[in-house]
Every structure is written in C-alpha cells, then in structure tokens.
C-alpha cells in the first residue's frame, strides 16, 4: 500500500456506495416523475404541497444513502476497526450529510424562492431538511457505538474470531509456504541442483503465529509486534540467494532479494515489494531503543498515510502488516 492512506482501505466500500447512489438516484427520479404527473393531472403544478411531497421523497432517498454509506464502511473495512477508523467513518458520513442541498433538493428550494408567496413554506422545508440532517448525525454516532459494543461482545464470547487480523496472519503463513515452493521450483529447475534448496523464508514455530496475533494498544505492544514481524524478513535465507547473485558488499536479506528480483524478473514491478520490506525494517530499527532513527521512522510511517506521532497503535500495526501481506502476495505471484 505504498503512498496509500486510510482512504485506500475504503475503496471497496466506495465502489459499493457509488453503485448504490446510482440505484437510489434512479428510483428517486422515477418517484419525482410520478409526483409531478400526479399534481399536473390535478392542476396543482405550482402547489406548495407538490414541493413538500418532492422534498419528502428526496429526504427518504438521502436517509437511505447516508445509512448505506455507514453500514458499508463498517461491514466492508478489511481490518479490525479501531478508534481511528471509527473517526474516519464518522467524518465520511458527515461529508455526505453536510451537503447544503442533498439529492435534488436545490431545485425545489430555488423554485419556491422564486415564488414570493411561498416564503413561509421555504422556511418550513428548510427546517425539515435541517432536522433530517441532525437526526442522521445522531443515527451515525449511535450506530458507531452499537458497532463498538458488538465488537466487544464478539471478542469476549467468540474467541476473537471476528478479528480480521487473524485471517491476514493466516494468509501470510500460507503465502510464505507458497513462496518457498515456487522459489525452489524456479531455481532448482532443469536439474541444476541434485540436492533440495533450503527455504527462502525460514518458517517460525507455531507459537510465533499465536504471539503475533495479539492486541496492540500500547507503545510496548507495538514495538514487540513490529519486532516479531521483522523476524520474518531477518530470517530469510541469504545463502540460497547468494547462489544466484553472489556475495554482496552490502549484506542484508532484503538487499539479496532485491538483487535476485532485478536479475531474473526485470519485467516485474518489484519496487513495492522491496519498499514494503524495507519499511518494516526501518520501523523496527526505530522501535529498537539502541537505534532511534526518528526521521527515517517518521518517513516510513508517512509513506503508509499514517499519522505521527502514533495515537492508535492497533490501527497503525494493522496497516503495516496488511502492507507486508500485499508485498509477499505480490512476490508469490512473481515467483509462480
């Protein structure tokens, strides 16, 4: 997720919202035509009742769209939702609610304001619109609180199975297995070696995966988990990569992987893979009390669209490990 930010993680939800908005607007236009035809048949084209009816069906559509946005954000966010994510969901919903004239309401008010004898009705309808916005804001905040309590309940009584981070960690473990197999097949092909190659990623013991699937609410926990994630990179097998590119002047597992990719996969975009692995190492270097490289750490954090200083450690770690997963997923595809 290089140069990405939290908005990147809402992309799927945004696509669903656009699709839903198209459907809601189509339905709204159909209902508006029905209302207009009805009042024209009754000879009440300029009636205030007509504009009131039109406003009400616009507010119904507005209500539906705002609620869809919030529910989609809550259900389709790919990581465990933390304080920062909840704040972002509220911000996204407020950006929709705060629109001066949602849906097709602008033309309703403009038409009424041109009719001087309907000024009282204009004020009544503006109050109706303002009340709807206020109700929706209250609904959003209440929905967020309900979701928070739901997550707490699931974590307490469902063994934390609702935590998407567990699924990401499971995918990482599976991808590393795939990478090891693909690497051996590619570089042991044509009988170049009689003996089997070692594993590119030296797989940790089972207890490692339990250890890294922990909550991350404090700086101490963040440093511990980043250290564990960095171990996967540190324990890459430099020896089998040396056989492909020779010994490098500047040692390091990421440097060896970069040279292997440059030598054999020049047509592939490996920059995102290497930059992701290096980012984890930079962040690990900062969290190590003996290497406080704050400027490099801040740069690595900012590349992911994360805020510095860190306020939400869980969300920050979630984004980092998701970025790492995307890197090894890309590596798996290149080696396949």
Higher pLDDT, 288 or 247: 247
Question: In the predicted model, is pLDDT for residue 302 greater than 90?
Answer: no
Inform me whether the pLDDT recorded for 91 exceeds 80. yes
Work out the average pLDDT over 314-323: 87
Q: Percent of the chain beyond pLDDT 90?
A: 23
Predicted pLDDT at 3: 34
pLDDT tens, position by position, 262-285 = 888 875 667 888 989 998 988 887
Whole-angstrom distance, CA of residue 86 vs CA of residue 94:
12
Whether residue 314 has pLDDT greater than 70: yes
- Classify residue 78 by its DSSP letter: S
Domain ranges of the chain: 6-157, 164-335
In degrees and rounded to multiples of 5, residue 209 shows phi and psi of -70, -30
Dihedral angle, C-alpha 197, 198, 203, 205, nearest 10 °: 120
CA–chain centroid gap for 45, Å, is 48
Q: Classify the phi-psi angles of 332: left when phi > 0, otherwise alpha if psi is within -120 to 50, otherwise beta.
A: alpha
Burial of 204: CB neighbours in 10 Å, binned 0-12, 13-18, 19+: middle
3-state secondary structure of 118: helix
CA 291 vs. chain centroid, Å, equals 31
Return the SS3 of 98: coil
Highest mean pLDDT among 23-32, 34-43, 83-92: 23-32
List C-alpha distances in Å: 276 to 48, 220, 223, 235: 61, 22, 18, 16
Tokens representing 108 are: 């309703």
Higher pLDDT, 95 or 304: 95
Residue 70 has pLDDT above 60, yes or no: yes
Report the range of poorest mean pLDDT among 28-32, 50-54, 131-135, 231-235.
50-54
Which of the four pLDDT bands, split at 50, 70 and 90, describes residue 9?
confident
pLDDT digits (tens, 9 = 90+) for 136-193: 999 999 899 888 877 765 554 444 433 577 888 888 989 999 898 888 888 875 455 5
Is residue 68 over pLDDT 90?
yes
With vertex at residue 307, the alpha carbon angle to CA 305 and CA 313, rounded to the nearest 5 degrees, is 105
């Amino acid at each position: 997720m290089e140069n990405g930010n939290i908005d990147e993680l809402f992309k799927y939800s945004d696509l669903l919202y656009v699709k839903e908005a198209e459907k809601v607007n189509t339905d709204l236009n159909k209902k508006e035509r029905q209302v207009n035809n009805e009042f024209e048949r009754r000879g009440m084209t300029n009636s205030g009742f007509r504009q009131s009816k039109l406003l009400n069906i616009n507010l119904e559509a507005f209500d539906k769209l705002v609620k869809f946005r919030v529910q989609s954000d809550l259900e389709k966010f790919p990581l465990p939702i933390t304080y920062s994510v909840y704040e972002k969901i509220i911000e996204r919903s407020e950006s929709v609610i705060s629109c001066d004239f949602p849906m097709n309401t602008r033309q309703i008010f403009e038409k009424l304001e041109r009719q001087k004898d309907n000024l009282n009705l204009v004020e009544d309808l503006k109050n109706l619109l303002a009340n709807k916005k206020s109700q929706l804001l209250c609904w959003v905040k209440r929905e967020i609180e309900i979701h928070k309590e739901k997550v707490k309940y699931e974590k307490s009584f469902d063994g934390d199975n609702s935590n998407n981070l567990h699924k990401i960690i499971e995918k990482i473990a599976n991808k590393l297995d795939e990478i090891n197999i693909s690497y051996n097949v590619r570089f042991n092909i044509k009988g170049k070696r009689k003996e089997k190659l070692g594993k590119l990623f030296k797989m940790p013991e089972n207890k490692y995966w339990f250890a890294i699937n922990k909550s991350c609410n404090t700086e101490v926990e963040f440093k511990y988990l980043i250290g564990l994630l960095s171990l996967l990179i540190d324990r890459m097998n430099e020896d089998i990569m040396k056989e492909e590119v020779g010994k490098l002047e500047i040692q390091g597992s990421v440097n060896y992987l970069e040279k292997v990719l440059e030598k054999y996969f020049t047509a592939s975009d490996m920059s995102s893979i290497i930059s992701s692995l290096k980012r984890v190492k930079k962040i690990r270097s900062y969290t190590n009390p003996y290497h406080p490289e704050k400027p490099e750490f801040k740069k690595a954090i900012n590349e992911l669209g994360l805020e510095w200083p860190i306020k939400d450690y869980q969300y920050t770690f979630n984004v980092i490990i998701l970025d790492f997963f995307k890197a090894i997923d890309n590596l798996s595809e290149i080696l396949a």
